[in-house]
Amino acid sequence: MSVPVAPGRLPLLGHTVPMVRKRFAFTANLREYGEVVQVDLGPMRTFFVTSARLTHQILVSDAQSFHKGMMFDKFRPFVGDGLAMSDGAFHMRQRRMMQPAFHRERIGAYAETMARAARDLAGSWRPDEVRAIEVDMQGLAVTIVGETLFSTEIGKRAIDEARRSIFIVIKNAMYRVLSPGFVEKLPIPVNRQFDEAIARLHAIVHEVITSWRAEGVDHGDLLSMLLLARDDETGEPMNDKQVYDEVMTLLTAGIETTALALAWIFHEIAADPEVERRVLAEVDEVLGGRPVTFDDVPKLTYIQQVANEVLRMYPLWILMRRTIADVNLGGVHLPPGTEVIISPHAMHFNPEYYHHPERFDPDRWTPEFARELPKGAFIPFGAGNRMCIGNHFALTEIVIAVATVAARWRLAPVRPVRTKFTSAAYPVDLLMKVVPR
Ligand code: HEM
């Protein structure tokens, strides 16, 4: 079957120009051309899927025929071979060893850290102060993942280092992925900053691991879980390199993503008085003035709907995979080694699945609506064997942070928000005034 080619292709450059210029609009509109559309990233031919059915095939029903592919090959040298990067049997082994650290009762224990960190942030604000909310949410997300990972004295230094370095690493890793290889070798300040940030993180995380091994005590933190985990087939623990790679993976995968969702959630709550009224009413009714606990999370149903709607409207732009076997994708034969692109954003803005997708509408998230959505149409955390291991962690963190802040403050927009589109839509200088309730 011949595959339609996306519009705007140029010799050598392929579709790089419309991808960079039109970004999310370019990929969201590809559904007009077919269910599988050819998109050339420079000289590389890739296939973009535009339906929930084929998205589900790649992520879930045919997942064993795919590895993570090109984008991740470029990330691996910086963040190692942790869970988000590894493939095949090694990935499965690591996932089995790490899964217990994300079980419900563990998240229940992390919830206390989440609530305290959110209370500390809300307690540091002054009435009518204007805050850069995306910066506050980044700080909150570093504290939460950091304190969940490292609970010891020396761990505090690792958290401070993460606060200083992790955003430098994330931002520059993205640029490196998009740039030709020679750019990362140039002696320019961004490269030096990046290399220094990685080196500092590396040194302190190794120090924490070494001191843990010397004591051998379970501190009840996520790092202890990683160090105590055993492969259920061989009985082997992870070596220091694997533990380091997994720590770096959790820092890079678990902080920026959650901070972004939190920033947008406060923006959206403030943008609609009715949404705000219902959030505040729910917080008052469920908490009645006491601090939020893990047991409150399932009762905060409206905040969960608001969170779902934020995750729908502000997801990752694209995910990539590479075939490792012959695959029939909607009648198109893909030989091994073919790169495919999935877009959570394009799925979430498809009017076939979401009525008025551009409208922020938490009320669409009734249990029936969620049940009846086609598989593959709502994928903020991916799906299948590579689905986000931190999804419950993130949702718990979001609900706890929103409830804690909303119990004390109303956040008022100061000016219209500007958005920067990179791997997702990011708010730029999201200034909000914090008004006591
Ligand atoms: C709102 C917040 C978050 C979003 C939107 C998000 C999104 C995602 C997505 C889409 C994937 C799948 C990528 C793919 O299929 O290629 C993923 C994987 C992953 N995420 Fe998250 N994530 C969030 C929070 C977290 C947190 C809090 C953690 C850890 C503390 C975390 C750790 C991971 C890891 C380790 C993977 C790789 C899983 C695997 O391949 O087995 N994420 N995340």
**Sequence ranges of the domains in the chain:** 51-436
Residue 65 · residue 335 · CB < 8 Å:
no
Q: What is the pLDDT of residue 181?
A: 67
Q: What is the pLDDT of residue 179?
A: 65
Q: What is the pLDDT of residue 159?
A: 93
CB atoms within 10 A of CB 87: 16
394 lines ligand 1 (CB under 6 A): yes
CB atoms within 10 A of CB 104: 9
Residue nearest to atom 21 of ligand 1 (CA): 388
Residue nearest to atom 16 of ligand 1 (CA): 319
Q: What is the pLDDT of residue 333?
A: 97
Q: Hey, which of 59, 79, 257 would you mutate to test ligand 1's pocket, going by the most ligand atoms within 8 Å of its Cβ?
A: 257
250 lines ligand 1 (CB under 6 A): yes
Q: What is the pLDDT of residue 178?
A: 63
142 lines ligand 1 (CB under 6 A): no
393 lines ligand 1 (CB under 6 A): yes
Q: What is the pLDDT of residue 216?
A: 87
Distances (CA, A) of 224 to 86, 91, 150: 22, 20, 8
Instruction: Please tell me the distance between residue 13's alpha carbon and the centre of ligand 1 in angstroms.
Output: 31
Q: What is the pLDDT of residue 291?
A: 97
319 lines ligand 1 (CB under 6 A): yes
267 lines ligand 1 (CB under 6 A): no
Q: What is the pLDDT of residue 422?
A: 86
Cβ neighbours for 65, distance < 8 A, ≥ 6 positions apart: 323, 324, 325, 326, 327
pTM equals 0.96
146 lines ligand 1 (CB under 6 A): no
258 lines ligand 1 (CB under 6 A): yes
Instruction: Please tell me the distance between residue 322's alpha carbon and the centre of ligand 1 in angstroms.
Output: 19
Cβ neighbours for 300, distance < 8 A, ≥ 6 positions apart: 282, 283, 286, 292, 399, 402, 403
Query: With the C-alpha atoms ordered 39, 44, 47, 48, is the resulting torsion angle positive or negative?
Result: negative
Query: Rounded CA gap, 143 and 159, in Å?
Result: 7
Q: What is the pLDDT of residues 38-66, one digit of tens each?
A: 999 888 899 999 999 999 999 999 999 99
386 lines ligand 1 (CB under 6 A): yes
Query: Rounded CA gap, 346 and 325, in Å?
Result: 26
Residue 341 · residue 49 · CB < 8 Å:
yes
- Cα-Cα-Cα-Cα torsion 54, 59, 64, 70, nearest 10 degrees, comes to 100
In 371-424, DSSP assigns E strands to 409-413, 418-421
What string of pLDDT tens digits covers the 437 residues of the chain? 789 999 999 988 899 889 888 899 999 999 999 999 999 988 889 999 999 999 999 999 999 999 998 878 877 877 789 999 999 999 999 999 999 999 999 999 999 999 999 999 999 999 999 999 999 999 999 999 999 999 988 899 999 999 999 989 888 877 776 666 677 777 778 889 999 999 999 999 999 999 999 988 899 899 999 999 999 889 999 999 999 999 999 999 999 999 999 999 999 999 999 999 999 999 999 999 999 999 999 999 999 999 999 999 999 999 999 999 999 999 999 999 999 999 999 999 999 999 999 999 999 999 999 999 999 999 999 999 999 999 999 999 999 999 999 999 999 999 999 999 988 999 999 999 999 99
Instruction: Please tell me the distance between residue 88's alpha carbon and the centre of ligand 1 in angstroms.
Output: 18
84 lines ligand 1 (CB under 6 A): yes
CATH of domain 51-436: 1.10.630.10
Query: Rounded CA gap, 280 and 107, in Å?
Result: 25
